[in-house]
């Protein structure tokens, strides 16, 4: 698909859904779907870089995912090591910067070390930002933001009447992505049509694209189709076009 004459979104967010169903269809353990899904992240990251997208946020592990079987959770926590061990040369070659959002306190120490190492190694890269949502929940982010702003008011650092949408943006986990902290396009794979506690504040005016394709099967052509669909939308932000 030729995207040369199309408008490219600055920030694309993806709910990578369907790994388990992909594995089940093939009579494989669920973890094999996650392993295949990691390969898809690599392909889509490089494609996003090629399209000059500024930020790609991927929903890797939600706060609710801790309720999954222990073996599956342990496997998911170990995936960042395999991901960065194999993908770091390409990330550096393509000038990709790695960041992450979510509550890192509950993550295993090894997982935190791997993530922080990837962030540190790519911190000077100036291309696409690959922003990984790990142990992330949108409601929890908003609660934490309210708490942080309340403390700032208590310390007389700000006045309550000074609390605006712009101020809230400064306290969210995505503030480091400015001016592209709010996704232009949100993609969800596997046919599910819901947000699942993902970027609830930031997605207020995003365009949504849902596809039945399971994440491990999601190709660069599928990604391009989502961009093409985005181009057919009229983004009025509540105004008259």
pLDDT for 239:
63
Please list, in sequence order, all residues whose beta carbon lies within 8 angstroms of the beta carbon of residue 92, skipping any fewer than 6 positions away. 121, 122, 125
What distance in Å separates the CA atoms of residue 15 and residue 198, rounded to the nearest whole number? 8
Please list, in sequence order, all residues whose beta carbon lies within 8 angstroms of the beta carbon of residue 12, skipping any fewer than 6 positions away. 48, 53, 55, 56, 57, 183, 184, 185, 186, 187, 226
Would you kindly state where each structural domain of the chain is located, as residue ranges? Answer: 11-137+181-231
Contact 198, 13 (CB under 8 A): yes
Q: CA dihedral in degrees (99, 188, 52, 114; nearest 10)?
A: 20
pLDDT average, residue stretch 112-117: 96
The chain-wide mean pLDDT, for the chain, equals 95
Q: Is 101 helix (H, G, I), strand (E, B) or coil?
A: strand
Q: Name the residue with higher pLDDT: 4 or 13.
A: 13
CA atoms within 13 Å, Cβ hemisphere of 10 = 8
pLDDT at 236 over 80: no
The CA-CA-CA angle for residues 172, 235, 194, to 5°, reads: 60
Given the residues 2, 5, 10, 17, select the one marked as catalytic: 17
Reported as a pLDDT band with limits 50, 70 and 90, residue 237 is: low
Please identify which residue in the block is written with the tokens 């120490």: 109
pLDDT at 31 over 80: yes
CATH 3.40.109.10 is held by the domain 11-137+181-231: no
Given the residues 2, 10, 65, 74, select the one marked as catalytic: 65
pTM: 0.94
pLDDT at 39 over 70: yes
Q: Are strands 129-136 and 55-62 parallel, antiparallel or unpaired?
A: parallel
User: End-to-end CA distance of the chain, in Å?
Assistant: 28
85 annotated active-site: no
Contact 81, 110 (CB under 8 A): yes
Tell me the helices (H) and strands (E) count for the chain, helix number first: 7, 6
Longest pairwise C-alpha distance within the chain: 59
pLDDT for 114:
95
Reported as a pLDDT band with limits 50, 70 and 90, residue 116 is: very high
**Left if phi > 0, otherwise alpha if psi is -120 to 50, otherwise beta: which for 58?**
beta
pLDDT average, residue stretch 72-94: 95
Reported as a pLDDT band with limits 50, 70 and 90, residue 2 is: confident
pLDDT for 233:
87
Sign of the CA dihedral with 159 first, then 160, 162, and 163 last: positive
pLDDT for 193:
97
- Give the CA distances from residue 189 to residues 53, 74, 213, in Å, rounded to whole numbers and listed in that order: 19, 23, 6
The pLDDT tens digits for 48-63 are 999 999 999 999 999 9
Please list, in sequence order, all residues whose beta carbon lies within 8 angstroms of the beta carbon of residue 181, skipping any fewer than 6 positions away. 11, 169, 172, 174, 175, 202
Reported as a pLDDT band with limits 50, 70 and 90, residue 6 is: confident
pLDDT average, residue stretch 155-166: 95
221 annotated active-site: no
Reported as a pLDDT band with limits 50, 70 and 90, residue 238 is: low
């Amino acid at each position: 698909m030729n995207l040369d004459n199309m408008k490219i979104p600055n920030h694309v967010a993806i709910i990578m859904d369907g790994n388990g169903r992909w594995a089940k269809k093939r009579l494989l353990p669920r973890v094999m779907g996650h392993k295949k899904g990691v390969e898809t992240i690599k392909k889509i990251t490089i494609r996003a870089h090629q399209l000059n997208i500024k930020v790609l946020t991927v929903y890797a592990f939600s706060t609710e995912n801790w309720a999954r079987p222990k073996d599956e959770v342990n496997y998911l926590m170990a995936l960042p090591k395999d991901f960065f061990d194999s993908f770091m040369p390409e990330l550096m070659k393509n000038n990709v910067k790695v960041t992450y959002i979510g509550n890192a306190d509950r993550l295993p120490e090894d997982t935190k070390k791997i993530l922080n190492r990837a962030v540190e190694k790519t911190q000077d890269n100036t291309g696409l930002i690959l922003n990984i949502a790990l142990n992330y929940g949108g409601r929890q982010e908003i609660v934490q933001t309210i708490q942080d702003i309340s403390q700032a008011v208590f310390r007389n650092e700000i006045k309550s009447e000074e609390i605006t949408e712009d101020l809230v943006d400064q306290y969210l986990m995505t503030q480091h992505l400015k001016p592209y902290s709010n996704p232009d396009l949100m993609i969800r794979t596997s046919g599910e049509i819901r947000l699942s506690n993902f970027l609830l504040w930031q997605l207020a005016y995003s365009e949504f694209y849902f596809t039945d394709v399971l994440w491990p099967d999601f190709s660069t052509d599928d990604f391009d189709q989502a961009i093409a669909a985005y181009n057919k939308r009229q983004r009025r932000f509540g105004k008259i076009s």
